[in-house]
Structure 1
Amino acid sequence: MKNKVLIGCSSYNNRFWKGIFYPDTLSGSRFFEFYCQCFNTYEFNGSFYKFPTVKIFENWYKKAPENFIFSVKAPKEITHIRKFTDCEMLISEFYKVCETGLKEKLGCVLFQLPPSYQFSTEKLHQIISNLDLRFKNVVEFRHESWWNQEVWDAFRENNITFCSVSHPQLPETIFKDFPLIYIRLHGKPKMFYSSYSLEELLYIKNETTLKSAFIYFNNTASEAGIMNALELKKMLG
């Protein structure tokens, strides 16, 4: 992927989008097929709640059209329960499942840490040492202490992307000096619900046109996510 901006959502199976995005008569079993007609990427979050299998990802691979890209979120057992401690084999198995099942349709591998996980140099080194640097790794922090130069320098040295987030309690910076741009838009001020204005979307467009970028709307508890994704897609042409 060279200087290409991919836009998608972090959820698609939303009955509230019927009549807004999905046709009123469309069966829920065909939602993903319809989604793929409009977008070329999807952030798969189901793997956060349940460790995936090769078979599951093979099914998703078959569902998606050619040139479609999945980004996949790491299981919470890695990021929230074990917090990168004593889980080398688990992480290795996760990478293997993603790579085997999704093949060339695998985009980024996202590791999201909990708000309680505060910065330390030891934790930083632990994260980096556990990642397989052959993959497009993205790390999303939920505690502001990670917004510091030591983290950014270490990530750049190891070809890891620091996730740009739009979140009610976190700095809103689009990081452009990492291997790629990866933006997660969670909704502000009301997380998962709030919509982004056309001015905010235009800013994102202008910040991401010169580099490869993945942009995912996670404000999908309302119609905001799908409408914002469509608006930004239209802006990018």
Structure 2
Amino acid sequence: MKNQVLIGCSSYYNRFWKNIFYPLNLPSKKWFDFYCQHFNTYEFNGSFYKFPTVRIFNNWYDKTPDTFLFSVKVPKEITHIKKLKECEGLLEDFYEVCKYGMKEKLGAVLFQFPPSYDFSKKRLENIIGLLNYDFKNVIEFRHETWWNDEVWSAFKDNKITFCSVSHPKLPQTIFKDFPLIYIRFHGVPKMFFSSYSTEELQQVNEAIEKTTGFIYFNNTASEAGILNALELKRMNV
């Protein structure tokens, strides 16, 4: 590989990928095994919807090759419902589950905040004060006010990664001066559906040279995500 950027998807259980990625006669219970034969990372989003347990993460750990890495999404109870308020214990519990559940296969911990979560100094200070810096923390914002120098400077000082996003309503800057490069492709112009052209992927591939991190395709409501991930992975060899 040119660099140490791992490429994968944000989901794998997808009927649209049958006979495009998954062999037609492959039973769905073997889809993740097949995915792991072609990719060495996966963005685990199930933890966003339901608070995980060590046992659940151990099961995923056991399914994957030795060199496989997971990026794990923080539960919405923390990011969307409490919005980091009065959730020190919850966040500590989540970090512990990640540590003992995923072990050395834990890549990054992803915090995705809702579009209503706009920038304020108090919120920025709260983020910096609550994170556990033993982990690779990545923050994805959905409100454009967070794209500012004060945030970027504070993140760099505290070794927090500002997530690069390809999203219909947000700047599509690829950030390379944080601890990791972490890009989420959500689909533009139609979120979750739109595919990226070869030219767009080539520009990304050139931009990520000599970097370390993760790229995930979340445009998985169609066949676009898997085809884009495979194409970018071929470019990156």
**Normalised by the shorter chain, which TM-score bucket?**
over 0.9
d(CA) in 1 for partners of 2:189, 2:15:
23
Residue identity in the other structure for 1:77 = E
Whether 2:1 is the aligned partner of 1:8: answer no
Whether 2:77 is the aligned partner of 1:71: answer no
d(CA) in 2 for partners of 1:97, 1:3:
30
1:187 maps to what in 2? 187
Residue identity in the other structure for 1:178 = F
**Corresponding residue SS for 1:233:** helix
1:144 maps to what in 2? 144
d(CA) in 2 for partners of 1:113, 1:204:
24
1:207 maps to what in 2? 207
d(CA) in 2 for partners of 1:138, 1:86:
20
Cα deviations by residue, 1:132-178 (Å, 9 ceiling, x for unpaired): 01100000000000000000000000000000000000000000000
Which portions of structure 1, spanning 4 or more consecutive aligned residues, are displaced by more than 3 angstroms? none
For residue 15 of structure 1, report the CA deviation from its aligned partner.
1.2
For residue 128 of structure 1, report the CA deviation from its aligned partner.
1.1
d(CA) in 2 for partners of 1:51, 1:232:
32
Whether 2:4 is the aligned partner of 1:26: answer no
Please give the residue correspondences for 1:166-185 in structure 2 after superposition, counting only pairs within 5 Å: 166-185=166-185
Query: Could you list the runs of 5+ residues in structure 1 that have no partner in the other structure?
Result: none
Residue identity in the other structure for 1:78 = I
d(CA) in 2 for partners of 1:205, 1:223:
21
d(CA) in 2 for partners of 1:220, 1:14:
8
Residue identity in the other structure for 1:152 = W
d(CA) in 1 for partners of 2:79, 2:181:
21
TM score, norm. by length of structure 1: 0.99
d(CA) in 2 for partners of 1:19, 1:164:
31
2:197 maps to what in 1? 197
1:157 maps to what in 2? 157
Choose 155-164 or 203-212, whichever is displaced more.
Answer: 203-212
Residue identity in the other structure for 2:200 = E
d(CA) in 1 for partners of 2:62, 2:235:
30
- Taking only the aligned residue pairs, the percentage that are identical comes to 69
Query: Could you list the runs of 5+ residues in structure 2 that have no partner in the other structure?
Result: none
**Corresponding residue SS for 1:210:** coil
Residue identity in the other structure for 1:137 = N
Count, aligned residues? 236
1:99 maps to what in 2? 99
Residue identity in the other structure for 1:176 = K
Root-mean-square deviation (CA), in Å? 0.9
TM score, norm. by length of structure 2: 0.99
Q: Is the 8 A contact 1:3 1:213 kept in 2?
A: no
d(CA) in 2 for partners of 1:207, 1:49:
33
d(CA) in 2 for partners of 1:129, 1:78:
15
For residue 209 of structure 1, report the CA deviation from its aligned partner.
1.5
d(CA) in 2 for partners of 1:99, 1:26:
33
Residue identity in the other structure for 2:174 = I
For residue 3 of structure 1, report the CA deviation from its aligned partner.
4.3
1:80 maps to what in 2? 80
Cα deviations by residue, 1:159-205 (Å, 9 ceiling, x for unpaired): 00000000000000000000010000000000000000001100110
1:217 maps to what in 2? 217
Q: Is the 8 A contact 1:5 1:213 kept in 2?
A: yes
d(CA) in 2 for partners of 1:169, 1:192:
13
